[in-house]
Amino acid sequence: MMNNDRRDFIRKAGIGLLAGMGAASGILTGGGFERTTSAAWAVEPGDTGRRWGMLIDTRRCREGCTLCIESCHHTHNVPDVSSPAGTVEWMHKEDGRELLGSACPSTAALPALCNHCAEPSCARACPTDSIFRRTDGIVAIDYHRCVGCRSCMQGCPYGEVSFNWSDPRAALKNPSVDYPTRQRGVVEKCNFCSDRLARGKKPSCVEACPEGAISFGNINNPSSEIRRLLESNQTLQRKPELGTRPSVFYII
Amino acid sequence: MIEQALTGHRNYWIWSLALLAMVAGAFYASALQSADGFVHTGMGNNAIWGLYHAQLPFLASIAAASLAVLVPGTLQKYSFLARLAPLAAFLGATASAMSLLFIAADLGMQRRFLTLLLNPSPGAPASWQVPLLLLFLALTLAVGWAQVGAVQKGVKQPAWIRSAVMIAIPAGLALPVISAFMLAVVPGSELWTSPLLAPRLMASGVAAGAGIMLVMAVAAEQLAGFKAGEEALERLAAVAAWAGLGSLVLTGIEAGTVVLGNVTAQTSALGLLYGNSPFASASLFSLLAGAAAIGLLLVPSLRRSSIAAASLGALLAFSVWLQSGLTLILAGQVREGLATVDYAPALPEILLTSGVWAGAVLLITVLLKITASAQLEREGL
Ligand code: SF4
Ligand code: SF4
Ligand code: SF4
């Protein structure tokens, strides 16, 4: 859907803009090969607790596979809205270059989700503190406080917040009992499976991936598995130049 | 004072009824929206914000602009702007009230409106918007009403008016700044993160606000026998022209910086306004109409003819509305993977928006009538 929208936009905006935006996407995402350095997982003073993070090994991600997305959307009762103008997504797959910039050698579709940024601009946009960063690094939404102003959607430079333009309950075919449903008029996005973490489980997308391509853990803990992987691999983040400090990393 | 609103000529009633009909359209559209949400609007993932939100920066800057007349007209002794002070206060109040209505119209969860007051997050600029608007609305409404009352009774203004205006100054000036800061929190949106956005909103707002006050004063003169005084009208026209010139200069400096810097993200954002884009006609019209109105307002003979000045003021205000209302929001939200240029407001959205505007015009009409009658009554004594 994202790709279609973008294509649409380019077609409508004309060739002049096409050239501009095409180049812009490269520059915005760091013209050079902007690899993640250890600064990306450095512990900030005053932030000594947990910081949940995710690492996606795109070399293992199967072409055409959407098991992680299906599992996430089923677990969290994410509505399956058919019209593209109303889609709600917690996780989706997007062309590698769209996602990580021209530095990314892969044009395969890669999984994308909320980055649980350490400096979340979505939260700076919210007038009611309904989208906020928890002390464990998870950027969460209070569905009962959200007024539906959609400032956070504008505020997220990755387009990872969705709005319930229509009644989400009407678009649930097979609701799960593990997670509440939402109402029309509020926003939602990936919650890093805070619901499952509280029950001692791993995120649903991590469990669903048959290739074990997704790792999850506390990146503030130097002896965690995810930190070991981060330190021993070349990784990329989405649009690191925007200062949001994403907690989702990609191995290309 | 209210009784003066209920007497008047036939034309006054026809005008008011036409506006009321538009207000009724807004009620209908808002009922539709409470029942079904935003499905009857053109908004969606292609346009996260639409016509409602697009009014907000413009209205905030108009509210602030009312201070340009209210402050000298109230705080200075023997200012010839004193007669226009209630008009400015009522403009400030109306613009704040409209902003609050558009904010409410744009909420997915309207019944949680009070959350905006009860659960603010001070680090987020957007949290300051509703409380400041409510404060500014209360202050300007009280000041305008008390001033008209004082004119009618032929007494001096109550002393508290001065303190109220002094509190209104920072609140009003903050409104366009907050509007700009609310947009500035979006990294990577080049049209919104410009440091010149707040000063541009303020300058263009003063120009448009003075233009609207010209229209209000001249209409009240021609239709209700209000006397603003030639000097005051000419001063208003000059304020509109010079503030407009200031805003044109800021726009030019900003565009020049972008072109010289030649950073692709910035030039393509500028291209969204003036290049090969659906917003180009509105942006270019706004630029040209604004420049023409400002140029003509700088001609002393035109500035002194009240009808010409009022028409130019209206044109200037319209051009600013296009720029800091429509295109700033609608073009500014176009980003990769997010909103596209592909948005057209739907009929209910247009009905609601025009209904709020009609309600505002009706309110201003009634308030102007009361102000003019108060003045006439006094002079009749
Ligand atoms: S990815 Fe977007 S929604 Fe998620 S924390 Fe970062 S800014 Fe917020
Ligand atoms: S839509 Fe909800 S969570 Fe997002 S900014 Fe508005 S109130 Fe906050
Ligand atoms: S972490 Fe959980 S909520 Fe987020 S995408 Fe994976 S399954 Fe969905």
Q: What does the pLDDT look like over B85-133, one tens digit per residue?
A: 999 999 999 999 999 999 999 999 999 999 999 999 999 999 999 999 9
Chain B partners within 8 Å of A99 (Cβ): none
Rg (CA), chain A: 18
pLDDT for residue B145 is more than 50:
yes
- B175 to chain A, closest Cα gap in Å: 15
pLDDT band for position B337 (50/70/90)?
low
Interface check A98 vs B, CB under 8 A: yes
Q: Please say whether the dihedral angle defined by the alpha carbons of residues B285, B291, B292 and B293, taken in this order, is positive or negative.
A: positive
Alpha carbon distance A142, B148 (integer Å): 47
Query: What is the reported pLDDT for A16?
Result: 36
Alpha helices in chain B (DSSP H): 10-36, 51-54, 56-65, 67-75, 85-105, 115-118, 126-153, 160-184, 197-224, 230-261, 264-274, 280-297, 300-304, 306-320, 328-332, 347-380
Say yes or no for a CB contact (<8 Å) between A184 and B37: yes
- Range name among A89-93, A94-98, A189-193 with the lowest pLDDT average: A94-98
- B2-379: what fold? Formate dehydrogenase/DMSO reductase fold (1.20.1630)
Query: What is the reported pLDDT for B228?
Result: 87
Q: What architecture is domain A31-251?
A: 2-Layer Sandwich (3.30)
Structure ipTM: 0.90
Query: What is the reported pLDDT for B30?
Result: 95
Does residue B64 contact residue B175 with C-beta atoms inside 8 Å? yes
DSSP result, A94-153: EEHHHHH-TT----SEEEEE----SS-HHHHH-TTS-EEE-TTS-EEE-TTT-----HHH
Alpha carbon distance B190, B194 (integer Å): 7
Domain ranges of chain B: 2-379
At residue B151's C-alpha, the angle toward residues B236 and B6, to 5°, is 95
> For residue A115, which amino acid is it?
N
Provide, rounded to the nearest whole percent, the portion of chain A with pLDDT above 90. 72
Say yes or no for a CB contact (<8 Å) between A147 and B277: no
User: b/e string for A44-64 if b means 16 or more Cβ within 10 A?
Assistant: eeeeeebbbbbbbbbeebeee
A191 CB near ligand 3 (under 6 Å): yes
Query: What is the reported pLDDT for B31?
Result: 95
Query: What is the reported pLDDT for A35?
Result: 74
Interface check A43 vs B, CB under 8 A: no
pTM of the model: 0.91
Name the 3-class secondary structure at A210: coil
C-alpha B351, offset from chain centre: 19
Sheet holding A248-251, edge to edge: A214-218, A52-57, A248-251, A235-236
Query: What is the reported pLDDT for B380?
Result: 66
Which chain B residue's Cα is nearest to A150?
B48
A238 Cα nearest atom in ligand 1: 1
Chain B partners within 8 Å of A129 (Cβ): 119-121, 124, 127
Backbone region of residue B226 per phi and psi (left: phi > 0; alpha: psi in -120 to 50; beta: other values): beta
Domain ranges of chain A: 1-30, 31-251
B126 Cα nearest atom in ligand 2: 5
pLDDT for residue A12 is more than 90:
no
Choice from A88, A149, A160, A184 to test ligand 2 binding pocket (greatest atom count within 8 A of CB): A149
Residue with tokens 């102000």: B371
The whole-number average pLDDT for the span A205-222 is: 96
- A163: β partners: A187
Q: Please say whether the dihedral angle defined by the alpha carbons of residues B117, A145, B50 and B341, taken in this order, is positive or negative.
A: positive
pLDDT band for position B1 (50/70/90)?
low
Say yes or no for a CB contact (<8 Å) between B120 and A163: no
User: Token pair of B249, please?
Assistant: 């200069």
Query: What is the reported pLDDT for A101?
Result: 85
